[in-house]
Amino acid sequence: MGTALVGYRGIQADLLLALKKRQPLTARELAALFDLTPNAMRRHLETLEAAGIVRHTREVRGVGGPVHAFTLTGGGEALFPRQYATVLLETLDAIAADRGRAGVSEFFRRKWTALAADAGPALQQLPLSERVQLMAELWTSMGYMAEADVEDASGLPVLRKHNCAIRAVAEQYPEVCATEAEFIAEVLGVPVVRRQHILAGCNTCEYVVGGAQRAPESPELATTNAGDRRGDA
């Protein structure tokens, strides 16, 4: 996906990317992904755990004893791109103080509208599957680690973002996620349904392209919307 992790390369960078996309994963599951022995993978994980980048918890999965399931720590998440979270939050706080939270949504809506005006006309000349792929490339260029494929069951394109480059902003102002979904639908020229959401605890924000209506907000997101808290960047 072209995502560079400062201070990490090779197998350690690759396994951090794998955790970002699929966490939690066991050493055995990670080893299978990279054609390594579980013991070799555990040595890499121990190094990253000692650095405070990954952590493990004990999970019971079916029959048998508990396993160690690995996830990224806050420090591990911080290795992935963020778009100037502190400065942007300060700007948005000032907008919210002056114009209310609706002003924050309007700020992002104008941003996405300008981007849609640039990208939309060229994309509309392409088949839908190509439009979705180029949308994924656009999101990746902005730090969102996006990818596109086609869902087997429905035959519809799916857009996934494995990283939220403005996560600290979205946790403080979750309404900006709605403007993002509007932007995707506007540029692609078809409705989209958000089926997974990072703010709701998922590993990705996943959009099914061509759905008839927006998926209902999850209970977790409703709880987040009700509060006004700032999460870790």
Per-residue pLDDT of 142-199, as tens digits, reads 888 899 999 988 899 999 999 998 888 899 999 889 888 888 898 888 999 999 999 9
Note whether residue 126 is domain-resident: yes
Please check whether residues 142 and 49 belong to one and the same domain.
no
Query: What integer is the mean pLDDT of 22-26?
Result: 90
Confidence of residue 30 (pLDDT cuts 50, 70, 90): very high
Lowest mean pLDDT among 10-24, 71-85, 88-102, 212-226: 212-226
Please check whether residues 71 and 89 belong to one and the same domain.
no
Q: Which domain does 92 fall in, by range? A: 85-226
Whole-number Å distance between alpha carbons of 70 and 97: 40
**Residues in Cβ contact with 16 at an 8 Å cutoff, skipping those fewer than 6 apart:** 5, 8, 48, 53, 54, 72, 76, 79
Please check whether residues 68 and 160 belong to one and the same domain.
no
Q: What is the mean pLDDT of the chain?
A: 82
Per-residue pLDDT of 123-145, as tens digits, reads 778 889 888 998 898 888 888 88
Q: Considering Cα of 11, then 13, then 15, then 17, what sign does the dihedral take?
A: negative
Confidence of residue 212 (pLDDT cuts 50, 70, 90): low
Query: What integer is the mean pLDDT of 93-107?
Result: 91
Q: Which residue has the tokens 């519809």?
A: 156
User: Of all residues in the chain, what percent carry a pLDDT higher than 70?
Assistant: 85
Please check whether residues 135 and 160 belong to one and the same domain.
yes
Token pair recorded at residue 66:
């508990």
Please check whether residues 132 and 174 belong to one and the same domain.
yes
Tell me, rounded to whole angstroms, the distance of Cα 85 from its chain centroid. 15
Please check whether residues 73 and 92 belong to one and the same domain.
no
What is this structure's pTM? Answer: 0.65
Token pair recorded at residue 8:
């990490």
Please check whether residues 173 and 109 belong to one and the same domain.
yes
More confident residue, 217 or 10: 10
CATH code of the domain covering residue 125: 3.90.1520
Confidence of residue 31 (pLDDT cuts 50, 70, 90): very high
pLDDT of residue 117: 79
Please check whether residues 91 and 187 belong to one and the same domain.
yes
Selection from 5, 39, 1, 38 nearest residue 21 by Cα: 1
Lowest mean pLDDT among 57-61, 75-79, 91-95, 108-112: 75-79
Note whether residue 31 is domain-resident: yes
CATH code of the domain covering residue 63: 1.10.10.10
Helix spans in 101-153 (H): 101-123, 128-141
* Residue where a domain terminates, one of 33, 59, 77: 77
Please check whether residues 186 and 155 belong to one and the same domain.
yes
Confidence of residue 229 (pLDDT cuts 50, 70, 90): very low
pLDDT of residue 4: 57
Q: How long is the chain?
A: 233
Please check whether residues 163 and 48 belong to one and the same domain.
no
Whole-number Å distance between alpha carbons of 206 and 162: 9
Whole-number Å distance between alpha carbons of 168 and 193: 23
Token pair recorded at residue 84:
């100037």
4-27: burial string, b at 16+ Cβ within 10 Å, e else: ebeebeeebbbbbbbbbbebbbbb
Query: What integer is the mean pLDDT of 113-127?
Result: 79
